Amino acid sequence: MYNIYIIGTAGSGKSTLVNAFKDWMDSRDLDCVLVNLDPGADSVPYDADVDIREWIHLGEVMDEYSLGPNGAQIVCADLMALSIDKLTTAMESYRGRFTLIDTPGQMELFTFRQSSNIIVDALGREKSVFVFLSDPSLSRTPNGFVSNMMLCALTQFRFSLPVVNLLSKSDVLSEEELEELRLWSMDPYALYGALLDDDINTQTLMGIELFKAMENVGVYQELIPVSAQTFDGFEDLYNQLQLIFMGGDDADMVDDA
Ligand SMILES: Nc1nc2c(ncn2[C@@H]2O[C@H](COP(=O)(O)OP(=O)(O)OP(=O)(O)O)[C@@H](O)[C@H]2O)c(=O)[nH]1
Ligand SMILES: [Mg+2]
């Protein structure tokens, strides 16, 4: 099984993408198993095959430990690692080529807690990839674009695994905006120019320096626009996953899972 972790800032469209990408996979006869790892989710827009809320629930942790939602989220993140046997046993009963894994709303809960690396190892590190969702509400300015790139790079740095950088909710952007963001993601000089076009201030200069550093260490990567409403970009996402998992050979990815 190939594990695809969906990660991104709060509200960036993770759960909606899990649901829509599952539908897209179904339409191509690609089996996938859905896993919810967000103990704080009130509801998710898909039928989770395996759901962490079966064992850990934010509300119960708040009551039991007398904590507010933020403190309880951290306890939940750590409890997830302690429930790893239950999680892996539940997952073993499902057969599918891909596992789509939804992660907690606030990405730092997954990115910064050691428990997530324990989960990644237990589910099989060698066949894992992270799909990072950049929210257009942040990415549409040059400064926000670099900030999202940094969050994506941070994910790559924390997990030492391949990361695909998606621009979620592409349907809310105009053609011109999409074209501009696509250009920034493919041509470092276009992004560099856009940052310079901003009012020159300390923030802009810092953005340029951070961007140069990311370019130098090779975490600068093309952004794939996707929409869970129109399914635009899902083919590109799938092709990118194929490239990462199997070097582009679809037949192998089907047989080898
Ligand atoms: N227009 C549009 N809206 C979207 C898309 N994907 C998600 N949304 C909306 O964005 C909001 C947040 O989506 P979620 O899927 O709940 O995002 P999330 O990252 O799982 O959110 P948390 O788990 O709460 O952090 C919802 O109102 C969705 O309907 C999309 O492709 N297009
Ligand atoms: Mg969610």
Question: Domain ranges in the chain?
Answer: 2-136+162-174+223-256
| β-strand partners of 164 | 131
Q: How far apart are CA 239 and CA 235, in angstroms?
A: 6
pLDDT at res. 211:
76
Residues 106-115: pLDDT tens digits? 898 899 888 9
pLDDT at res. 250:
58
Q: Residue 148 C-alpha to ligand 1 middle, in angstroms?
A: 17
Q: What is the mean pLDDT of the chain?
A: 90
- CA-nearest residue for atom 12, ligand 1, is 11
Instruction: Please state the atom number of ligand 1 nearest to the C-alpha of residue 8.
Output: 19
pLDDT at res. 113:
87
- Nearest one of 88, 28, 20 to 52, comparing CA atoms: 88
In the predicted structure, residue 102 carries a pLDDT above the cut 60: yes
- CA-nearest residue for atom 13, ligand 1, is 13
Ligand 1 site-directed mutation target among 5, 9, 16, most atoms within 8 Å of CB: 16
Q: How far apart are CA 103 and CA 236, in angstroms?
A: 22
Those residues whose C-beta lies under 8 Å from the C-beta of residue 138, and which sit 6 or more positions away, are 9, 144, 145, 147, 148
Instruction: Place 248 in a pLDDT band, splitting at 50, 70 and 90.
Output: low
- Give the rounded percent of residues in the chain with a pLDDT score beyond 70: 95
Instruction: Place 249 in a pLDDT band, splitting at 50, 70 and 90.
Output: low
Instruction: Please state the atom number of ligand 1 nearest to the C-alpha of residue 227.
Output: 31
Residue 27: Cβ-neighbour burial (10 angstroms; 0-12, 13-18, 19+): exposed
Q: What is the pTM of this model?
A: 0.92
Instruction: Place 105 in a pLDDT band, splitting at 50, 70 and 90.
Output: confident
Q: Residue 80 C-alpha to ligand 2 middle, in angstroms?
A: 17
- Nearest one of 178, 188, 193, 187 to 212, comparing CA atoms: 188
pLDDT at res. 257:
46
Token representation of residue 141: 């300015």
DSSP readout, 6-49? Answer: EEESTTSSHHHHHHHHHHHHHHTT--EEEEE--TT-S--SS--S
In the predicted structure, residue 219 carries a pLDDT above the cut 80: no
pLDDT at res. 237:
98
Q: What is the mean pLDDT of residues 7-20?
A: 97
- Look up residue 201 and give its DSSP letter: S
Token representation of residue 159: 């997990």
Instruction: Place 173 in a pLDDT band, splitting at 50, 70 and 90.
Output: very high
- CATH superfamily, region 2-136+162-174+223-256: P-loop containing nucleotide triphosphate hydrolases (3.40.50.300)
Residues with beta carbon < 5 A to ion ligand 2? Answer: 14-15
More confident call, 186 vs 21: 21
Ligand 1 pocket, CB under 6 A = 8, 10-16, 38, 105, 168-169, 171-172, 227-229
pLDDT at res. 189:
84
pLDDT at res. 252:
52
Q: What is the mean pLDDT of residues 50-71?
A: 95
In the predicted structure, residue 255 carries a pLDDT above the cut 70: no
In the predicted structure, residue 231 carries a pLDDT above the cut 90: yes
What amino acid is encoded at 248 in this protein? G
More confident call, 197 vs 147: 147
Report, in angstroms and rounded to the nearest whole number, the Rg of the chain calculated over CA atoms: 19
